[in-house]
Amino acid sequence: MKSTRTRLAIEAGYLFQQRGYHGVGISEVLERAGVPKGSLYHHFPNGKADLALAAADIAAEEVLRIIDASFDQAGDYTNGVTTFCYKLAKYFDIHEGKIGCPVSATLHGGPDNATFRDTLSRIFAQWMDRIATHAVRLGQSPDDAEQSAKRLFLSLEGSWTLARARGDSNVIRQLPALVC
Amino acid sequence: MKSTRTRLAIEAGYLFQQRGYHGVGISEVLERAGVPKGSLYHHFPNGKADLALAAADIAAEEVLRIIDASFDQAGDYTNGVTTFCYKLAKYFDIHEGKIGCPVSATLHGGPDNATFRDTLSRIFAQWMDRIATHAVRLGQSPDDAEQSAKRLFLSLEGSWTLARARGDSNVIRQLPALVC
Amino acid sequence: MKSTRTRLAIEAGYLFQQRGYHGVGISEVLERAGVPKGSLYHHFPNGKADLALAAADIAAEEVLRIIDASFDQAGDYTNGVTTFCYKLAKYFDIHEGKIGCPVSATLHGGPDNATFRDTLSRIFAQWMDRIATHAVRLGQSPDDAEQSAKRLFLSLEGSWTLARARGDSNVIRQLPALVC
Amino acid sequence: MKSTRTRLAIEAGYLFQQRGYHGVGISEVLERAGVPKGSLYHHFPNGKADLALAAADIAAEEVLRIIDASFDQAGDYTNGVTTFCYKLAKYFDIHEGKIGCPVSATLHGGPDNATFRDTLSRIFAQWMDRIATHAVRLGQSPDDAEQSAKRLFLSLEGSWTLARARGDSNVIRQLPALVC
DNA sequence: AATGAATGAGCTTTCATTCAT
DNA sequence: AATGAATGAAAGCTCATTCAT
């Protein structure tokens, strides 16, 4: 069984993605993770804030894994983007259309401090870097790749927002036609 | 002087855009608007939810006005997009880089009900429609215009998110090069 | 019936005098005053700290009243001190020997900030001033009166401490023989 | 290096003197003593209460040592009192004016049980006895000595209280003029 | 329409203690 | 003897809302 700490971060991640930092009570996280109240602060001394940062890190890693899984087997960039968006749309549907960008929903709306903003900024940069790396490997020039990655990332963030408003994953699925 | 109701909605809007629905307490809104505790429910019978919807409507209208002001005097679509993004970047800077999409921040993270989602979805559609209308007027075919508007909208939502994470409006200012 | 605010301060005073600032929970004060949880912060915006300051002020006034009642009818200073100590010993007994100096117990042990210390210091000065004023009226020179008041005050504080440790009010009752 | 047990009691003493029994959390004591969480109950089976009693005993012994050091070399009683008060004032200043009577602050405000009250009462009696013993040695009759010791003790307790409220050790330094 | 008081559920966090290793 | 994890009650406080005037 996963460690108490990990269980807490994962459950927190699910909830934060759905209702944002302030929309989720710690009690609910604890209940779902089957962890008693006092234990949270043993594993996350700064409480809810630490928990959100940990949850964002886990979610960010998962997105990186999805990027790799999508592009590693792709013949060209467009193909990789298509697979990537397909996987994300599926993930969106699994969660009944209630989630947005897994890290943005968690960290935006949280305490407005430098740590939260820096973490978010760093994660976004990692995503774009990883996409650009794949684009280069698949034949684009470094400049073009960076441009492509940024275009994909920005549109994807927008798609998550629109898809969630509509409760419809098609926005995500139709993204490749728009950015490639 | 503006009506109590309007003042409440405007102040609420500013705060929701910065910290999201659950991140803002009603007391703070009342205090900033200079309105006594008991008065809120005379103007907004359903309380905080009504207030958020009103605030979102006001913000949405403002964006429509900015769209028109940007495209009305533009010689071509690219020119309109450039002016639009410039104005939004300026607006972002005025608020010290602390805000995101004015309606998304307000309604996402709010109570997860049909009214909120529908309102958000409708506002997004209005924005895209208005942009598309301008694009057609400036020479694009209806299909191309719809595509352009969607591309701009999605990237813009992403830019708001990234700009806020970085605390830097340049993401918004550089958008035209990415989507035109 | 006394106002909610007053009832809260009085009940808080009794409890703080017995168990100190940190030894008393807000819930207990609310329960004894018959006031619901949320109401406290309407009347005392800074919560427990405000409550303690208000309680200390009330207790301080009460001591001033006892000083006046003791000395106003006294033929000489020693007589006034005797009556004063007798009244305080009686007050001590009424509370079953569980209390100390009514303001010291409340404010020492509270948050260690300037406001608390200043309030305490100001109250002590008021007590000594009042005693000295009576001493002058009863024939002492201003210098002697100040000396007498200080001697009485310091010993009284000590008596409260010792009486509480022993659970015996005799220390207070025997004070006149020691300081006059 | 001192034993873990002793280190715990000493650190606890410092903190209790400043903020009282309930004002100090066990975690803080453990952290400052560099002792891990689970270890406390090996050395103090009854936990916080045992710790406070041990801390009070150590502080009480220290005061006895200061009494002896002050009076042993004194030519007369007044001289001894002066040295004693000077030493205590210095001790007060070293702790930045934040402490009161070392045992009273620790035990009052603690759990209101017989053990705590008895310990406090016993320590106070020891202090007065020791002072009286010195007074007899320096020429006073047993009765006078007891009276003198009580007068000094009560005023000293009051001085600690007032000095702490004022953040000024002069109250303690000026004590001999008041009680001799 | 306007208002200050009231309301209690809920919030995040800290507490002293116990447990299993 | 030593230790990090676990524990849940209780802490002080804020919340959105309703009430009585």
DSSP B148-170: HHHHHHHHHHHHHHHHHHHT-TH
Rg for chain A (alpha carbons), in Å?
Answer: 17
Percentage above 90 pLDDT, chain A: 86
What is chain A's mean pLDDT, rounded? Answer: 94
The stretch B68-72 carries a mean pLDDT of: 98
Contacts for C49 with CB less than 8 Å, ≥ 6 apart:
C110, C111, C115, C116
Residue D112 has pLDDT above 80, yes or no: no
* CB within 7 A of nucleic chain E: A 24-28, 37-38, 40-41, 46-49; B 4, 35-39, 41-43; C 4, 35-39, 42-43; D 22, 24-28, 37-38, 40-41, 46-49
User: Which chains share 3+ C-beta pairs under 8 angstroms with D?
Assistant: C
Kindly report, residue by residue over B29-62, the tens digit of the pLDDT: 999 999 988 889 999 999 999 999 999 999 999 9
Does the structure show a pLDDT above 80 at B97?
yes
The whole-chain average pLDDT of chain D stands at 94
> pLDDT tens string for chain C (180 positions)?
688 999 999 999 999 999 999 999 999 999 999 999 989 999 999 999 999 999 999 999 999 999 999 999 999 999 999 999 999 999 999 998 888 899 998 988 788 788 999 999 999 999 999 999 999 999 999 999 999 999 999 999 999 999 999 999 999 999 999 999
pLDDT in tens, D3-52: 889 999 999 999 999 899 999 999 999 999 999 888 899 999 999 999 99
In this predicted structure, what is the pLDDT of residue B1? 65
- Count of CB atoms situated within 10 Å of the CB of C2: 10
| Of the candidate ranges B126-130, C61-65, C106-110, D125-129, the one whose mean pLDDT is the lowest | C106-110
State which residue has its Cα closest to the C1' atom of F1. D42
Number of other residues whose CB lies within 10 A of the CB of residue D139: 10
Q: Which two tokens stand for residue C122?
A: 């100001």
B93-97, C10-14, C152-156, D156-160: least confidently modelled range: B93-97
Task: Please check whether residue B139 lies inside any domain of the structure.
Answer: yes
Question: What phi and psi values does residue A136 have, to the nearest 5 degrees?
Answer: -65, -45
D112 or C45: which leads in pLDDT: C45
Question: Is residue B126 assigned to a domain?
Answer: yes
Distances from the Cα of C30 to the Cαs of A105, C24, D169, in angstroms?
A: 39, 11, 38
Residue D44 lies in a domain: no
Q: In chain A, how many domains are there?
A: 1
User: Per the domain annotation, does B50 fall within a domain?
Assistant: no
Q: In this predicted model, what pLDDT tens digit does every residue of D54-78 receive, in sequence order? A: 999 999 999 999 999 999 999 999 9
Task: Let me know if residue B6 belongs to a domain.
Answer: no
pLDDT over 70 at D79, yes or no:
yes
**Digit-coded pLDDT (tens) for A139-152:** 999 999 999 999 99
Q: What percent of chain D has pLDDT over 70?
A: 99
pLDDT at D141 over 80: yes
Contact C109 D105 (CB under 8 A): yes
Answer whether residue B25 is part of any domain.
no
- Beta-carbon contacts of residue C169 (< 8 Å; ≥ 6 apart): C89, C90, C92, C93, C97, C163
Confidence of residue D1 (pLDDT cuts 50, 70, 90): low
Domain boundaries, position A87: 56-179
Give the per-residue pLDDT at B105.
87
User: Looking at the C1' of nucleotide E20, which residue has the nearest alpha carbon?
Assistant: D38
Question: Rounded mean pLDDT of A34-56?
Answer: 93
Least confident of B45-54, B143-152, D150-159: B45-54
Residues of chain B in contact with residue A178, where contact means CB-CB under 8 angstroms, are: 147, 150-151, 154
- C:D CB pairs within 8 Å: 116
Determine the pLDDT at residue A105.
87
The verdict on C6 touching D (C-beta cutoff 8 Å) is no
CATH number, domain containing residue D151: 1.10.357.10
- pLDDT score at D100: 87
pLDDT digits (tens, 9 = 90+) for A71-91: 999 999 999 999 999 999 999
B114 within some domain: yes
Q: Evaluate whether residue D160 is within a structural domain.
A: yes
